Amino acid sequence: MGERLWIHRAKACATFVAAMALCLGSAAPSHARPASAPAAFMADVRSFLATSLQTGRVYQISVALPDGYSRRHAPYPVLYALDANAEFGTVVETARLLAFGGEIPGVVVVGIGYPKPGQGFRAANVGRTLDLTPTSDPEWIRTSAKDSMPQPVPVPDRSGGGPRFLRFLETRLVPLIERRYNVSHDDRALAGHSFGGLFAAYALLQGDGAFRRFLIGSPSLWWDHQAMLGMEEAYAASGRALNARVFLSSGALEDGTGGHPMTSDFKAFVDRLKARNYRGLEFGTHVFEGEDHGSVLGATVSRGLRFIYAPAPAPASTRGLGAAGRRAGGAKTARPGAPSLTGRPRAAP
């Protein structure tokens, strides 16, 4: 009798231990074996791969939609952002915060990058050096590229692919985005920093007019013995208008970046644009105190988006009439966010 009672108690104890283990197992931390991972904090982003016939390379395209995106909404402005591997998050969340505060319209952001492993420039440096430079500089590739790159960023081996990359954007990517998404066909912006800023300046001067707004941050104007200055001089000699709204900026501490006088080059380029007084060009500039080539990015994007998407000023004939006076008979003002192409530099907000 005593032995049977002991066996019964032992079985009951084993059953209790097994039940407790099952309960404890079910209460294990969710990170141990989650049923499904939560979505990333950057919501409403779609990505796909696009092969370029112009460059022969594959690009990762990420499209960030504004809050409340709808096919029934009026077409949204669209912003094409270069260097998406490193800078897409900064551009998207800045645009969303500014739109949330009513400082800019809701914008579809299209990030253009490379389907390579790793973060930022570790993934993108080889491709971006080829695509974002408008001319070939084999001397820099041979003698300076390795020294100017922090390790372990891959060292580029080619440059000068900018013309083909620009054709890819204008003839392949832009039409593709406009077929897939509810975006404007005449309100496109291009944003770039560093080599991306160099490429954006190139697209401003050499593009086919696909982009009408430009955010040009810390452009690498030193590239190929300042080849961009020669392009600007040739454009000025043509006598053509430059129909765009442009924001240009630099950090005050950028001189010496990669051994180049980047802030000084930037100021000289801005002085050129002011002296040209291009018909159709409206631009704003800013040099950010206390910021270097990397730290300036956030300020550049925030200030730049507010400038390029600022509402156009009312025509002189309607100023002082008030909304009622303009409705009664004054000339129509431009819709919010449309460029006012005055041909004069404006102070950035």
- Quick: pLDDT tens for 193-214: 999 999 999 999 999 999 999 9
Is the distance from CB of 223 to CB of 137 less than 8 angstroms?
yes
Cα three-residue angle 334-339-340, rounded to 5 degrees = 75
User: How much is the pLDDT for 26?
Assistant: 44
- Quick: pLDDT tens for 225-251: 999 999 999 999 999 999 999 999 999
Residue whose token pair is 């240009």: 248
Name 56's Cβ contacts closer than 8 Å, sequence gap at least 6. Answer: none
d(C-alpha 161, C-alpha 91), whole Å: 24
| Mean pLDDT, range 107-135, rounded to an integer | 94
User: How much is the pLDDT for 150?
Assistant: 65
Cross-strand pairs, 111:
62, 81
pLDDT band at 118 (very low <50, low <70, confident <90, very high): confident
Q: Bigger pLDDT: 166 or 118?
A: 166
- Quick: pLDDT tens for 61-110: 999 999 999 999 999 999 999 999 999 999 999 999 999 999 999 999 99
Instruction: Report the chain's C-alpha Rg in angstroms.
Output: 27
Name 298's Cβ contacts closer than 8 Å, sequence gap at least 6. Answer: 90, 94
Phi, psi of 276 (to 5 degrees): -70, -35
Q: Which of 200-204, 259-263, 314-318 has the lowest mean pLDDT?
A: 314-318
User: How much is the pLDDT for 23?
Assistant: 44
**Nearest partner of 194 among 112, 275, 292, 293, judged by Cα:** 293
- Quick: pLDDT tens for 183-193: 999 999 999 99
Q: Which two tokens stand for residue 217?
A: 């941050």
The distance of Cα 302 from the centroid of its chain, to the nearest Å, equals 11
The distance of Cα 321 from the centroid of its chain, to the nearest Å, equals 38
pLDDT band at 2 (very low <50, low <70, confident <90, very high): very low
- CATH code of the domain occupying 45-312: 3.40.50.1820
Is the distance from CB of 175 to CB of 113 less than 8 angstroms?
no
User: How much is the pLDDT for 115?
Assistant: 96
> Whole-model pTM?
0.81
Residue-range domain boundaries for the chain = 45-312
